[in-house]
Structure 1
């Protein structure tokens, strides 16, 4: 195979992976908003709704790491194919069950498929891309980040217009098409070629441990606060008298500012360095947490959630670049670790936030402030 054909194959694979990232995140958003509504129609209790949601978080706290490690040993294409096919099966299962308790194992299957998908996509994308890793990840982040905005909107529209089962039908069809296209469009290097190509990078691992530790802490920070604000804030805001549609707009603002961060982070990082981004992102998360803790109006929350979105976007972009760039040929492991840490942080944030909210409604955001300031101090002391 000549070099021109190899380049065309890499370009096609890269484009397909970016499109897949958008579509998979969009499907996750569609299904994510549909399952609780569907469960409520099946007369699931609030406790059962909590168990259904926690099942996904628990699976995602360890499964991405397992799949990432395995994807370094086997073909990543196989994991992408398997994940999209399993997602299709989970959506079909959602649409046919009548017992709300059956949603728990289906949620587990759904998130196993998601856990198989992201580490392999992240790793393979950095391997086949013809541009530097920061530009590759900028495109990747913009792809899935934009899908987080449109997914729930599409899901809600489908439910309103065509019924509660329609999102499951649409999602199963889309994921099946993705599975079939992945067989045709993904071209992947052999394992040995990957090792040779990235051997020089992997030899530098020993010099980047401080950076990696800092990245791990930042991942826990933005994901734990994400668990707090996405799971607890909507009810908190409604109890303050803010209409549900306004809460939706606040969440939309959060997503938009996260996209802005994805667009600008690597440009700023090129001038000031990654440590500056970690420190700045932590401070932004602290300020946003403080505003949310003392706020009571929609306008105040709009500002704080814009800051949450931008801060989380900065930390996400810088931390994923740190792990994928500094881990050499073990990019599946790095991607899996990244996603598992997000799952752990999200799970712990939801759990601890829910616990402290029993003492005061704004206590979760005070907790977020404390965590953010602690991480900020750590970054200031452990400057690379």
Structure 2
């Protein structure tokens, strides 16, 4: 039987494999759709929406299922739902086919990620560290993936479809890894279907605003952005290198997360500002040097926001409803992932490829101001509390 102290290691390896699998092909997907299928920016938006839409709805129910069945089964199901679409996308010839497989792939993540978070959250004392490490190995995989993808493209003379086949093979390895989790029986809490607990997450509007902004940009980065960069004259291999740099910045920033938890408000505000500056760079100058700077800023900002937002909410809610909170949190992530490509695709199609960056620049500035005001309000409250204690 797999001991619980060894379970995180297996999950980390599975998540790292997921990161590599995504990193190899994610940036190539919009390029495959535009260059070989003939997709427009609007089509890219629809494809991104199809991929991320299941992550809005399914995690809510996953949050309930996590309390009722072995989480490992959900993890395995998530892996299986990812492997098949990767191979099918590699032979797709129409936007409609790609939309179908994107929907299934989105469903995969809806099972896989919340199940992984729940399994790691069984140890409350190490939860913060485990989830940070989970994201760390994921972004590490996403850093390695684009480099492998660039190498494959060089060897295969730019065969984009081959990237999806290799990605599927790599992801299949995760199924083998789940063999060592087959006897794991995490504690199950047979809680009632209390839908009110799912809404507890809305008590944190500013935190959710930051989360949705960062995840919307993440969705944009992996649907519209590669096509935008290619339109600016950056070739496919150079784009993959950019995403590898983005992955490095994400991985390094994750190392800072444990040190920043005591300074969450100012850290989250700083991340929002970094994201806004990155968007401004894409608008002003798309030379390779400045694009690298913007990708690094996005990598740091997006990476820190996610775990800090999750911990901020979990630390202020009862442990009894944590799985439901994780499900609701995942749904909010999905909403961001949908909004990014959906709005980005339609706005780019209607007003030009630079328009989505203007839109998110304005939103980023507003969210940054909201976060800053909340930070000042919290500081003022602390001062008032201190003054009251003095009297």
User: Residues 350 and 169 (structure 1 numbering): CA distance in 2 closer, same or farther, change over 3 Å?
Assistant: closer
Shift of 1:121: 0.7
1:353 to 318, 324, 344: 344
Q: Residues 1-384 of structure 1 correspond to what in structure 2 (within 5 A)?
A: 9-32=3-26, 44-47=37-40, 51-91=46-86, 93-94=88-89, 101-128=96-123, 131-155=125-149, 157-158=151-152, 161=155, 164=162, 166-167=165-166, 170-171=169-170, 173-184=172-183, 186-191=184-189, 212-270=204-262, 273-327=263-317, 328-357=319-348, 358-382=350-374, 383-384=377-378
- Deviation, 1:53, is 3.7
TM-score, structure 2 as length reference? 0.80
CA distance in 2, matches of 1:242, 1:100: 24
Q: Which moved more, 1:216-225 or 1:153-162?
A: 153-162
The answer for the alignment partner of 2:387 in structure 1 is none
1:200 alignment counterpart: none
The CA distance in 2 between the partners of 1:361 and 1:97, in whole Å, is: 26
Distance 1:89 1:242 in 2: 31
- Please state whether the residue corresponding to 1:127 is helix, strand or coil: coil
In the alignment, structure 1 segments of 5+ residues that lack a partner are 196-202
Deviation at 1:79, TM superposition (A): 1.0
Shift of 1:135: 1.9
**1:301 Cα deviation (Å)?**
1.6
SS at match of 1:221: helix
Shift of 1:315: 0.9
Residue-pair matches, total: 361
Cα distance, 1:95 vs structure 2? 6.2
Question: Closer, same or farther in 2 for the Cα pair 1:284/1:23, shift >3 Å?
Answer: same
Contact 1:10–1:128 (Cα < 8 Å) also in 2:
no
**Cα separation, 1, equivalents of 2:220 and 2:292:** 16
3-state SS of paired residue (2:67):
helix
Please give the secondary structure, in 2, of the residue aligned with 1:191. coil
Task: Give the TM-score normalised by structure 1.
Answer: 0.81
| Aligned position for 1:198 | none
Residues 32 and 302 of structure 1: is their aligned pair in 2 closer, same or farther, counting only changes over 3 Å?
closer
Q: State how far apart, in whole Å, the 1-side matches of 2:150 and 2:294 are.
A: 25
Structure 2: which 5+ runs fail to align? 192-196, 379-391
Distance change (3 Å), C-alpha of 1:304 and 1:120: same
Query: In 2, Cα distance between the equivalents of 1:315 and 1:107?
Result: 26
Alpha-carbon distance change, 132 to 256 in structure 1, aligned in 2, over 3 angstroms: same
Cα deviations across residues 305-364 of structure 1 (Å, max 9, x unaligned)? 211111112211211222333342333322222222222112212222233333344332
Q: CA deviation at 1:239?
A: 3.0
* 2:67–2:188 CA contact under 8 A, matched in 1: no
- Contact 2:45–2:223 at 8 Å: present in 1 too? no
Q: 1:60 to 1:360 in 2, by over 3 A?
A: same
Q: Is the 8 A contact 2:86 2:165 kept in 1?
A: no
Pairwise CA distance, 1:37: 6.8
Using the TM superposition, give the Cα deviation of residue 371 of structure 1 relative to its aligned residue in structure 2, in angstroms.
0.9
When residues 225 and 34 of structure 1 are mapped into structure 2, their CA distance, relative to the original with a 3 A threshold, is closer
Q: CA deviation at 1:11?
A: 0.8
